[in-house]
Structures are given as C-alpha cells and as structure tokens.
C-alpha cells in the first residue's frame, strides 16, 4: 500500500474510533432527547395508574423495585451506592429528577415494561405483572429521601 494510502486509512480509522467514543451529551442534546422521549418515543402517555397510592401499594412497589431495579437505581431510586451511575453515557438518572418525574404514570409504566433503548434501561416485561409495575410507579412517585434506604448489598451495603 502506498504511503499516502496508509495515512488516509490511518486517519479514517482514527476518525471512526473517535466517533464511537461515548461521551456525556451536552445541554442541547439532553433537552432534545428529553423532549423526544416525553412527546414521541415513550408510549403510555394517557394510561392511568389503576393502583391507588396507598401505603401498602407504595411499600409493595418498593419491595418489587428492590428486587430488580436497585442494581442500577439504588434502593431509593436515586442511585445511592451505585458506583457506575454517574460514569455511564448517558448517566443513570435519579428517579427523583425533574426529567423522570415529568413522565406521566403511564409513561413510567411503559418504560418499566419496555425498557428505554439506547439508555441501557432493560425491559422487564414478563418479570412483573401489570399490577406490580403500577405499584412500582406508585413507589417512584413517592421516593424516600436520598440515602435513607442504604446501599444495595451487591455494592457492600447491608
């Protein structure tokens, strides 16, 4: 291969590799992505939670959440004790954040059921019944104070 061709190939390889590097999105990208999820890609916007937000349902949602979601979101839904939550691109969101709380109940249930590609949020369809997913939505709407539930045992907590 001639020298010039090798340089072009090297430059293209470097450009391709640097284009694949995952970085945190900027403010504009984040706003566009948030708007798109809220208004276009996330379904269930008009679905109403049939599960009342009673203490019993919120506690049941907390237990269900702790069985599946705590690995990425911590027991409190606010990433407490999750060592990688702020290092991923995009970051694992605090479920208490205004961006997450802006979703309707139906959208939160849809995200739990279907996941949120390409964020890393996996679908849980088949893991939980509809009622259980709605109970988790009730818990997400009534999150405890950050850090109050401790660190997940998988990360050294009790």
For residue 46, tell me if it sits in a domain: yes
Report pLDDT digits (tens) over 87-118: 888 889 999 999 999 999 999 999 999 999 87
Burial class (CB in 10 A: 0-12, 13-18, 19+), 70: buried
For residue 103, tell me if it sits in a domain: yes
Report pLDDT digits (tens) over 65-79: 999 999 999 999 999
For residue 8, tell me if it sits in a domain: no
Given this model, what pLDDT does residue 158 score? 74
For residue 82, tell me if it sits in a domain: yes
For residue 4, tell me if it sits in a domain: no
**Biggest alpha carbon–alpha carbon distance for the chain:** 73
For residue 3, tell me if it sits in a domain: no
pTM: 0.77
Count the domains in the chain: 1
Check which CATH number belongs to the domain holding 114 and give it.
Answer: 1.10.760.10
- pLDDT of 62 strictly over 90: yes
- What is the extent of the structural domain holding 44? 25-152
User: Could you give the CA distance from residue 24 to residue 27 in angstroms, rounded to a whole number?
Assistant: 10
For residue 11, tell me if it sits in a domain: no
Given this model, what pLDDT does residue 117 score? 81
DSSP state of 39: I
- pLDDT of 27 strictly over 70: no
């Amino acid at each position: 291969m001639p020298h010039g061709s090798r340089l072009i190939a090297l430059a293209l390889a470097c450009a391709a590799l640097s284009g694949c590097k995952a970085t945190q999105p900027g403010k504009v990208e984040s706003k566009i992505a948030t708007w798109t999820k809220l208004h276009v890609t996330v379904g269930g916007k008009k679905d109403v939670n049939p599960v009342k937000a009673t203490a019993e349902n919120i506690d049941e949602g907390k237990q269900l959440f702790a069985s599946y979601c705590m690995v990425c979101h911590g027991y409190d839904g606010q990433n407490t004790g999750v060592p990688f939550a702020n290092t991923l691109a995009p970051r694992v969101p605090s479920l208490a954040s205004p961006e997450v709380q802006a979703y309707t109940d139906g959208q939160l249930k849809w995200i739990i059921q279907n996941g949120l590609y390409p964020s890393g949020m996996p679908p849980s369809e088949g893991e939980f019944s509809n009622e259980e997913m709605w109970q988790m939505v009730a818990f997400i709407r009534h999150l405890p104070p950050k850090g109050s539930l401790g660190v997940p045992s998988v990360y050294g907590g009790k």
